[in-house]
Amino acid sequence: MAAAFADNLASGARINGPVFRGLLAEGEARRGDVARALELVEEAIAMRGEDRLFESDLLRRRGELLAVAGPEQRAAAVDALRAAIAVAESQGAEAFRTRAQAALAGLGVAGDGGPPAFSLSRRERELLGLLGRGMTDKEIAAELVISLATVRSHLDRIRDKTGRRRRPELIRLADELGSPGG
């Protein structure tokens, strides 16, 4: 991806530069290099110029990365996610707004600054992501090397925290949160 992005820049093209940089950031985050991912997101935000189409998505990525960077970054993460929601609302970008709100809720903060919504543990988010990939409870148990009863216990806790009772609702939540494993 980095090579393709470099080729794109070398050609003189500037369209979608922030998008490509954001995708590179996502790749670095998945590799576990949060610092580099944050650096790339900041570069993407700085280079967006007149291209504001993906601004809310970049702000959401910034917020999610700050959230995993450490507890000292929590306030900055919340601010970035709230900014992402505001930009998405101003652009009428419902999908981006929903995803930023879900990320904010994943931190236990309501999108309107009100009381906490729900907060999922890392393991619950991982399990939810596998559910979002269409895996059965038995397949999830095998993937995570846990018992079927533990999978069901995690799912019950997710249901209790989120208020989403049915499996299709949980799968939709996995998509909204962009959960690990998904």
Cα(98)–Cα(163) distance, integer angstroms: 17
Cα(135)–Cα(20) distance, integer angstroms: 30
User: Domain limits at 146?
Assistant: 122-177
Give the per-residue pLDDT at 59. Answer: 92
Going by C-alpha positions, the residue among 115, 82, 77 that lies closest to residue 101 is 82
Domain boundary among 56, 72, 106: 106
Q: What's the CATH code of the domain at 88?
A: 1.25.40.10
- Cα angle 171, 177, 178; round to 5: 90
Question: Do 8 and 84 sit in the same domain of this protein?
Answer: yes
- Given a cut of 80, whether residue 180 has pLDDT beyond it is no
pLDDT tens across 119-168, in order? 677 888 889 889 999 999 999 999 999 999 999 999 988 887 777 788 99
111 located within any domain:
no
DSSP 73: G
Helices (H), the chain: 2-10, 17-31, 34-46, 55-69, 74-91, 94-106, 122-132, 137-144, 148-162, 167-177
26 located within any domain:
yes
Question: Do 31 and 78 sit in the same domain of this protein?
Answer: yes
Question: What confidence category does residue 14 fall into, taking pLDDT thresholds of 50, 70 and 90?
Answer: low
Tally of domains in the chain: 2
pLDDT tens across 74-132, in order? 889 988 998 888 888 888 888 888 888 888 888 877 655 443 445 677 888 889 889 99
Mean pLDDT of 58-85: 89
Which two structure tokens, joined as six digits, stand for 146? 């846990």
Least confident of 11-20, 22-31, 83-92, 139-148: 11-20
